[in-house]
Structure 1
Amino acid sequence: MTLHQHSTQTFGAVSANFGRDLEQNLRRIGHLVEDARARGTSLLALPEACLGGYLSVLGSGRDGTHGDRPDSLPPVLDVGGVELARVAAIAREMTLVVGFCEADGGRRFNSAAVVTGEGVIGVHRKVHQPLGENLYYEAGETMRAFETPVGRLGALICYDKAFPESARALALDGAEVIACISAWPASRTATAGELAQDRWKQRFDIFDQARALENQVVWVAANQAGTFGSLRFVGSAKVVGPGGEVLAATGTGEGVAYARVDVGEVLHTARRSMFHLGDRRPDLYREPVTLDA
């Protein structure tokens, strides 16, 4: 696999709260980008649903039941619409990853757009749906990386990170950097007194480091923070190197994790002796029999 040539770049991962008010969301994105630009940032990942907010509750999941209904659903946006055009105008020379509820005919998708000043480069539709999310969104059906000014970039959304195949598919498609944007909540059972000790927060962190390490990529993880409806988010935005090392992190509060990375150099260093993608044995891998729910 040929790596792109890079110079050192600054990547940012946002931990912040975004609700239903689109104008407020766009203003906040503008402020975050302005601060990131002053730091020389090339890539800024914003949370899942940063344009219009996430669902206000999550249900019990696999059987399709929901304890209660969201007070309101996120606004539906077109990829070619005015909101993402405004994000592009904010982005200018930077590359942004933003979450939104995408309209496609009569269908709704939980999506991540990769945006520069030139417009939308690509869109990832969330594939894996937790806790009754399928009641409100269709599932995405593709995993692919995009050519961007910061290199070949893949995007994932939240629960996608729990599946090794997701990040692996992007890495095999040449992704050098993967931005995983989330609205990852704390556990609603066996809740911890301190958010930093929450078991779902700990899983969030483990997934981030494991996905970076097993694919030897740079991993940029954004997340919602604070609360929305009945959900309490764990924050914990971070940038992780290809050896699984956390290069920068926000902790559970709001903030931006910034890290300076020479992607070509760190990937070359990580892969020069043990190249996980090249050492695979796909001829031996088998899908197991279908498991009962």
Structure 2
Amino acid sequence: MPLRLGLFLGLLAQLVVAADGGGPQRFVLAAVSVEPVAWDKEANFAELERFAREAAAKGAAIVVTPEGFLEGYVGNDKRQPELEQQRYLAIGESLDGPYLKRAKALARELKIHLMLGFAELREGKMYNSVALFDPAGEIALHYSKSHNAHDEPFNTKGAAFPVSQTGLGKLGALICYDRRLPETARVLAIRGAQLILVPAWGSYNDLNDALMRTRAFENGVWLAFVHPHRALLIDPRGRIVAQNQTEDDELVLGEVILDERVGAGPVRDRRPEIYGDLLRQP
């Protein structure tokens, strides 16, 4: 039996928790490794719905999109050289906007957790954000990108690293460039995150794979990197559990097991009392 077919069949019957009620929490994560259409919310939501339904049918408990999936990641002036502020503001979506309401309803209908990347309009400012809806359709996690490479001229940077207790465990999020700074994932781990979700758009080369494996290992967490052309599910030992097979549109599924590996490893041997210089700019 081909490896991928065996994995899919093995995951199909998985429930969020072990059938006997004991043992570690287990669930299936689905990464929507799909390139959205720039400036076309309706087309992108249709793709989200199609892949979310497929993921739910295959037993996924959580579905995650890339960065800026809803509007096609148009807030980056390197990707959109003719980017104009008014056009960007016009495509912004609030947390109670029509497409996020549809995402909420979809999560509730499919009884899944659903994370959507979107350009958020909040109090007249734009943010590069993600929202995670739980199976009841409530917002379980809301995060705005806190770092960028000075290529998002109209986005305001977020300033918080929330960790949310969900039915799947404690979840946190980073967005794309955030992952390049070790402090971001470390803060989430210190706050108890068991799984860090990383919707992204930029680089997805071998160096990025190594970086993502390192972030998982050094913090003792599960990590899911979701990019239009690359998807990785990595365990707390830094091992790749699931990944895409091509750079074409693909739904990538893997099983997360929140066992004794979470929070273990070198993160337990930290000595914060001698790290004072970390708060200084070099």
Same structural fold, with TM-score higher than 0.5 when normalized by the shorter chain: yes
Which secondary structure state, in structure 1, belongs to the residue aligned with residue 46 of structure 2? helix
The equivalent of 1:220 in structure 2 is 224
- Structure 1 residues 86 and 165: CA distance shift in structure 2, 3 A: same
Equivalent in 265, 270, 273 of residue 275 of structure 1: 265
The equivalent of 1:73 in structure 2 is 88
Report whether the alignment pairs 1:254 with 2:249.
Answer: yes
Counterpart Cα distance in 2 of 1:8 and 1:145: 19
Counterpart Cα distance in 1 of 2:262 and 2:143: 27
Counterpart amino acid of residue 127 in structure 2 = F
Equivalent in 238, 245, 249 of residue 244 of structure 1: 238
Counterpart Cα distance in 2 of 1:57 and 1:40: 34
* Total equivalences in the alignment: 252
Counterpart Cα distance in 1 of 2:46 and 2:206: 31
- Structure 1 residues 56 and 146: CA distance shift in structure 2, 3 A: closer
Report whether the alignment pairs 1:90 with 2:106.
Answer: yes
Counterpart Cα distance in 1 of 2:55 and 2:216: 23
The equivalent of 1:194 in structure 2 is none
Offset of residue 218 of structure 1: 0.8
After superposition, give the CA deviation of every residue in 1:135-180 in whole Å (9 maximum; x if it has no partner): 1100000012111221110011000000111011111111101100
| Residue pair 1:240, 1:246 contacting (<8 A) in 2 also | yes
- After TM superposition, the score normalised by the length of structure 1 is 0.80
Offset of residue 202 of structure 1: 2.1
Where does structure 1 differ by over 4 angstroms across 4 or more consecutive aligned residues?
A: none
| Residue pair 1:58, 1:131 contacting (<8 A) in 2 also | no
- The range that moved more, 209-218 or 110-119, is 110-119
| Residue pair 2:237, 2:261 contacting (<8 A) in 1 also | no
| Residue pair 1:12, 1:239 contacting (<8 A) in 2 also | no
| Residue pair 1:236, 1:253 contacting (<8 A) in 2 also | no
Root-mean-square deviation (CA), in Å?
2.2
Offset of residue 238 of structure 1: 1.2
Report whether the alignment pairs 1:35 with 2:26.
Answer: no
Counterpart Cα distance in 2 of 1:282 and 1:161: 21
Offset of residue 23 of structure 1: 1.3
- After TM superposition, the score normalised by the length of structure 2 is 0.83
| Residue pair 1:144, 1:169 contacting (<8 A) in 2 also | no
The equivalent of 1:231 in structure 2 is none
The equivalent of 1:108 in structure 2 is 126
| Residue pair 1:95, 1:148 contacting (<8 A) in 2 also | no
Which secondary structure state, in structure 1, belongs to the residue aligned with residue 273 of structure 2? coil
User: What are structure 2's unaligned runs of at least 5 residues?
Assistant: 1-21
Report whether the alignment pairs 1:9 with 2:27.
Answer: yes
- Structure 1 residues 209 and 278: CA distance shift in structure 2, 3 A: same
Equivalent in 165, 168, 172 of residue 147 of structure 1: 165
After superposition, give the CA deviation of every residue in 1:74-104 in whole Å (9 maximum; x if it has no partner): 7101112221111011112211111011111
Counterpart amino acid of residue 247 in structure 2 = T
Q: Percent identity?
A: 27
Which secondary structure state, in structure 2, belongs to the residue aligned with residue 278 of structure 1? helix
- Structure 1 residues 119 and 288: CA distance shift in structure 2, 3 A: closer
User: What are structure 1's unaligned runs of at least 5 residues?
Assistant: 60-65, 186-199, 225-234
Which secondary structure state, in structure 2, belongs to the residue aligned with residue 179 of structure 1? strand
Which secondary structure state, in structure 2, belongs to the residue aligned with residue 237 of structure 1? strand
Which secondary structure state, in structure 2, belongs to the residue aligned with residue 184 of structure 1? coil
Highest relative contact order (Cα 8 Å, sep 6+), 1 or 2? Answer: 1
- Structure 1 residues 122 and 57: CA distance shift in structure 2, 3 A: closer
- Structure 1 residues 13 and 67: CA distance shift in structure 2, 3 A: closer
